[in-house]
Amino acid sequence: MLIHVDVEKTMVSRGGRFTLQAAFSSEEEFVVLFGPSGSGKTLTLLSIAGLSTPDSGKIAFNGRVLFDSKNRVDVPARHRDIGYLFQDYALFPHLTVFDNIGFGLKRNLQWRLSKEDRRRVQEHMEVFEISHLARSLPMALSGGQKQRVALARALIRKPNCLLLDEPFSSLDTLLRRKLREELARVQAAFKIPVIMVTHDPADISAFAQTLVVYDTGQVREVKHYLKKDRQPHASVLSLPLSGSVL
């Protein structure tokens, strides 16, 4: 993966004014955006996905320009070939597990999936070990099961990159540890680069090949790690973890 981000965006609300100035590049397969809540990590992720438009700057992935304010390039989100896992998983409450996973395969006014697409959904359920939940609705699922369904849905369209917004934040400590192992397995199986937002230092140790440290809307530090060196530095751990999520 080769990701380049250099963007600026100002947001104004009744609560005040927030300016994001994010600049980093990485050639690694796993990038972790780390910092306190409200520091701009999620806003950066939304900008990469095309779900938020920066005021200025440039975003490029593997040599393909996704956004360039100077040259008026802004590729629509649906054409960026990027999978996005929202913090709350954003599953459709009225659709079964099978239909949630298959939703992204539907085209235009298509009502039913083709035989080939139904086979792909079945294969993804088997990979994530949720075949027995095919007819279940999201309300009947545990947090870990919801995450598996959301990952399967994000990956079924074979995206070029997977964006994860605090994927373990709503889970207890033991389940976080288990799902970190599962995420590592999934990344290896699908051979897909990942950019993750987190404020949990344990995610740095587990995943970070490139660590991008945020504070008050700015990238303060970019570090590149070998696996044996993925222990967060004391200056990283000292960042406050409070505020609103942007």
Question: Domain check: are 102 and 175 in the same one?
Answer: no
Domain total for the chain?
Answer: 2
Same domain, 33 and 102: no
Q: What CATH number does residue 220 fall under?
A: 3.40.50.300
- Which of residues 157, 182, 202 is at a domain's end? 157
- The verdict on 57 and 166 lying in the same domain is yes
Q: Each residue's pLDDT tens digit in the chain (246 positions)?
A: 899 999 999 999 887 899 999 999 999 999 999 999 899 999 999 999 999 999 999 999 999 999 999 999 999 999 999 999 998 899 999 999 999 999 888 776 667 888 999 999 999 999 888 999 999 999 999 988 998 999 999 999 899 999 999 988 877 778 888 888 888 888 888 899 999 999 889 999 999 999 999 999 999 999 998 665 656 554 454 444 433 333
| Residues 151 and 171 occupy one common structural domain | no
- 130 lies in which domain range? 87-157
Last residue of a domain, one of 135, 157, 179: 157
- Model confidence, pTM: 0.87
Q: What is the pLDDT of residue 246?
A: 38
25 and 146 belong to one structural domain? no
48, 82 Cβ separation under 8 angstroms:
yes
- DSSP strands (E only) in the chain: 3-13, 16-26, 30-34, 56-61, 64-68, 73-74, 82-85, 161-165, 194-198, 210-215, 218-224
Strand order across the beta sheet in which 64-68 lies: 73-74, 64-68, 56-61, 3-13, 16-26, 218-224, 210-215, 30-34, 194-198, 161-165, 82-85
pLDDT recorded at residue 60: 98
**Is residue 152 located within the same domain as residue 167?**
no
pLDDT at 143: 86
The pLDDT score that the predictor gives to residue 240 is: 46
Look at residues 137, 157, 177 and tell me which one is the last residue of a structural domain: 157
Residue 245: how many other CB atoms lie within 10 Å: 16
